[in-house]
Every structure is written in C-alpha cells, then in structure tokens.
Structure 1
C-alpha cells in the first residue's frame, strides 16, 4: 500500500492489557489530519476530521442536517477571528491546526491515568515500562512472538529524548512528545533513526531503493508491479535520493518523512476554500460555508432523538 495511505500514528501504546502486544512505533510522516483516505469522489470524511478533529467529527455524524448547519454557523463566527465577516485561508488554517492540536492533547489525556500509577501528575519511565511490559518483565520466556527486549529499548530511547530534563520522569509536555514525536523539533532525530532501523534490511545505515519499495510493496503479491510502484521508483531517483548515490541518508530520510516545505493544515485550508468559494474572491462568507456544509461537517441521522448530543458551547 502506498506510503501516503499508511496510518501514521506515532505510537500505539498498550493500555489495560495483561501482556504487551505488537506496537507500531515508527513514525512514517507528520501526524495526519485524518487516518481516512482523502477522496472527495467517495465522501468528505477526511475533510470532516481535518476540520473538526476526530472526536467532534463523530459527534457531527450523528446530527441531523439542520443541527449540523446550526453548529457549523457558530463555528464560522469563531473562525472569523478578525470579525470582518469573512473566513480567510489563514483563519481556516489556524482553526484546523487547533483542531488537530486538541485531538493530540485529548489522546494524551485519555492515556494519562493508565500510566500515572501513583497519581502524582507525572509518568516515570518505570511506570510506563511496567504498565506496557509488565507481564514480559515478570516472565520473559512466556511469550516469544515479538522481540520485546528490542521494543522496550526503542521505547526507552524515545522516552529519554522526550525527557528534556533527563530525570526519566515525564510531565504532560514530555509525554506528549514521546507519544507524538513528529510534532516536536527535538524528536526528529529519533524519528529518523527509527524509520531507518525499520526499513534498512541490510544494516548499512541507509535506505536503498529496494528497501524503500519493499517497505511499501511486496512484489510476490502481484505478477507485475502496479503503476504506482514505478512512480515511487521515479520519486526515489529524482527527489528522495538528492545526492544521487543510490540510497537515502539521515538527512534525505528526514526530508522524506517530515518535509519542511509541506503543511497539511495549509493544504487542507486551500482545499476547503477551493471547494466552497462560490464567487472565487479568495475568502468565504458564512453563506458560502453553510451552502457547502457537507464538505466541512458530517450529518447522517434524520431526526433529533437520542442521537442529538448537545455540547455546552452550542
């Protein structure tokens, strides 16, 4: 499957389990605005999650159109920060970034109590290790399905990088960096290191074209390579491998997984503007947004009933 379609969760932590399970600790890319496919020909679900955040998008999916539009109208007034009666691309971008930031913080909050075992408002490495790997630590021979020693070492390395004061105790800012390293400048080196370790099959510290393609596609599954594979080969040769030595080093890998010249929120803001700007003046009125409310927010039910989940702000 193409890398652009991969889930990019920073860390799938183990919560409330008697033994650790396989974790995806590699970060493939900047934290996405949504894990869903962005295909407007099918639906606008990606746009809903990008604009609202994951949890709020689920709430809107349960609302009737009238209520969905009403709440969107209230949001438009909040997005229009300079109160000029229009929503600009920059205002949309700020709103989207804030929605995604809230999603990350909510994710950390949901997991916090599972690891803060002594309820002191901090999470030590020992607490995290014992919750995540407790059963393995008690009996390392009980389950050999995964290399938990390696997984635990990677977690500790990431934890130490996130732990900026070096006391092996994380506050919420540090724990957020541990769970979502792609959003933090000081975490980029460890993100690159994890990526190379996972893809570099020959252990030379680089990613060659065979390893790059092999991470996305198993040639044994098809009689001939699909077109996108050839496109990825061309991408590697022309853009990924900048110094043309046939492999990606750490700097080239960083440019690949965390490109500094691409802003997901900005791209989504441009997309929403393009979809809704009826008079093509480069800004949106409330009417233009509400006329295209299905692009911004979801709505599936046809009556209020029990599904109408009202929030205080609405």
Structure 2
C-alpha cells in the first residue's frame, strides 16, 4: 500500500537544495490531540498525548511511576497560573492548547534563522524567495525538470506570503511568518487554506472535488491490493458526511468544513473530561491532590504503558 500527502508536488521541491522541507509547502489539517482513540476503558494514551503533547508523552512513557508523578506535580504548579491551589477549566484548557501549539513554535523557530539573512528579526519576501528558490531564479527554472511546477509553487508561495503579511509591507514578523508556514492556525488565512486545498485535490480543475479525487488524494493502491477498511470508511464519509448537499461533489464550502472544522473544540472537550474524571468533590475545579490521585490518566510510565515506542528521553520539560 502506498500512502501519499495531499500535495505530491511537495516532493519535487524537497529535492531542491534550497527548498524548505516538504511539510512546509502544504496546508495541513489541524493537528489531532492524539494519534490514539479516546477510549479510557482500554488505556489513557489519548489523555497523555492531549495533556502533555505527543512528543513529551513519549518521555513520560519511559519514566517510573515515582518520576512521572514528581514531574506531574511540577506541571500542576505551572498550570495553576493564579497560584490559588486550584486548576480551573480555563487554566487546564490554556495548558492543553499551549502544549498542542508548541510544535508550531518550535517549527517556526527552527527555520527562522535560515530565512532572516540580515538578522533584523524580520523576513522579507525577497529573503524567503532567494533562500528557497535563488539557485534557479536566474535561469527561470530552466535547469529543473518540473519547471512548470516550480513556477507554480513560487507564485503560490508569494500569494500565501502576501496573505500572511497583514500590513502589506512585504516583510513578515515572527507572527506573520508563523501564519505563512501554518495558515491553518489563523482565521485570517482561511481563504488561503481553502484555495490551496482545492488546487491540490481538484485534479481536473472543474472547481469541485469528486469521490475519485478525494480518495486518490489519500490513497493509491498497489497492484492486486485489497482496499483497506479505512478507505471504505472514507468513501462513506464522503457521501454521508462531507457532501452535505448530496450532489456528488465537494464544493469550496464543503472542503472548508472538512479541513477547517470549527464546531468541535477537542481541547475544550478534553479539559472538561479530565476535570470530570478527577474532580472527586464535584466543585468544578481540581487540586494537585486530586490530580496526583488520578496521575495515570494525565501521564504515563513504563509500568502503565507497555509496548510504547521508547525512542526519546528528555532531561527537562
């Protein structure tokens, strides 16, 4: 079976010596809180990843229960921003969203110096363009096999950069550069997200997405391979959930509902869930004692999470 990203052209750019990593070239769905199903009856890995972040959850999986509880106690102190001894829904929600956003900050910081060539703590469009495409620009991509693709991606980058550049000065601040790299996280970039998604998936250019395009964007079968169950599920989702007007296609508004769902706040639901399961006296807020008494729901350890991928260890949070 061969799975591929929503934008195969990303691979082409990744081959260029000065191109940004392929994951930066495509609008992504908002990150899920966890890769695991939320089913407390079969374990708390969803809660661990939602509360800690996916990478930090791996760290806690490697700790002993004693170490895990000790670190959790320190985290509780950080969450309790007003230092009143209670964790409210608002404080817990802020913490969960902060942990989920951290990967974005790390990603932006990782690439910032690559583009801020003059060190002025801003990134001009020319800096970004020359760093990403400079080797080929003088020849108008004549040395590139997929010349048309590169030209398209340059135009698309420029369009996205202009959208992220809210004051229109041709220079991106740190926050604007974040919107450029991760437009799905910013409401004012909504139109860009929808437009780029439609361009990537609508292969025949008719302005709408049919079932073949929808499935083909996620899955390509190998010869004589049986279609996986998840693909069959996606076919049902297309007709029963995604295609709200039942015309057999996804238009721009239906694509928007798919890639930018706004009706469900999973972080808010998780904060409510953790409080409900931990709040023993049902006063609507939780204490450090209540949290540590239910520590294995919030964090994991070797003793409680068998079979996890123990690939990374941090000395500090």
Residues 142, 30 of structure 1: alpha-carbon distance in 2 compared, 3 angstrom cutoff: same
Cα-to-partner distance string for 1:115-170 (whole Å, 9 max, x where unaligned): 10000111011111121223333552434268222222211111110011112210
Residues 53, 222 of structure 1: alpha-carbon distance in 2 compared, 3 angstrom cutoff: same
2:246 match: secondary structure: coil
Cα-to-partner distance string for 1:165-212 (whole Å, 9 max, x where unaligned): 112210111101101111111101010111111111111011112211
Structure 2 match to 1:118? 118
Cα-to-partner distance string for 1:236-289 (whole Å, 9 max, x where unaligned): 223222222221111111111111101131233245446x53859465443443
CA contact (8 A) 1:65 1:300 kept: yes
**Partners of 2:5 and 2:129 in 1: how far apart?**
27
Offset at 1:101? 3.2
Aligned pair count reads 299
**Partners of 1:145 and 1:199 in 2: how far apart?**
19
Alignment partner of 2:202 out of 196, 200, 203: 200
Structure 2 match to 1:304? none
Structure 2 match to 1:191? 193
Offset at 1:106? 3.0
Structure 1 match to 2:17? 18
CA contact (8 A) 1:181 1:191 kept: yes
CA contact (8 A) 1:182 1:191 kept: yes
**Partners of 1:295 and 1:103 in 2: how far apart?**
22
**Partners of 1:288 and 1:54 in 2: how far apart?**
24
TM-score, length-scaled by structure 2? 0.77
What does residue range 102-251 of structure 1 map to in structure 2 within 5 Å? 102-138=102-138, 140-144=141-145, 147-219=149-221, 223-251=225-253
Q: Moved runs in structure 1, 4+ residues, more than 6 A?
A: 5-8, 39-43
**Partners of 1:130 and 1:65 in 2: how far apart?**
51
TM-score, length-scaled by structure 1? 0.78
Structure 2: runs of 5+ lacking an equivalent = 304-312
**Partners of 1:58 and 1:40 in 2: how far apart?**
19
Structure 1 match to 2:278? 277
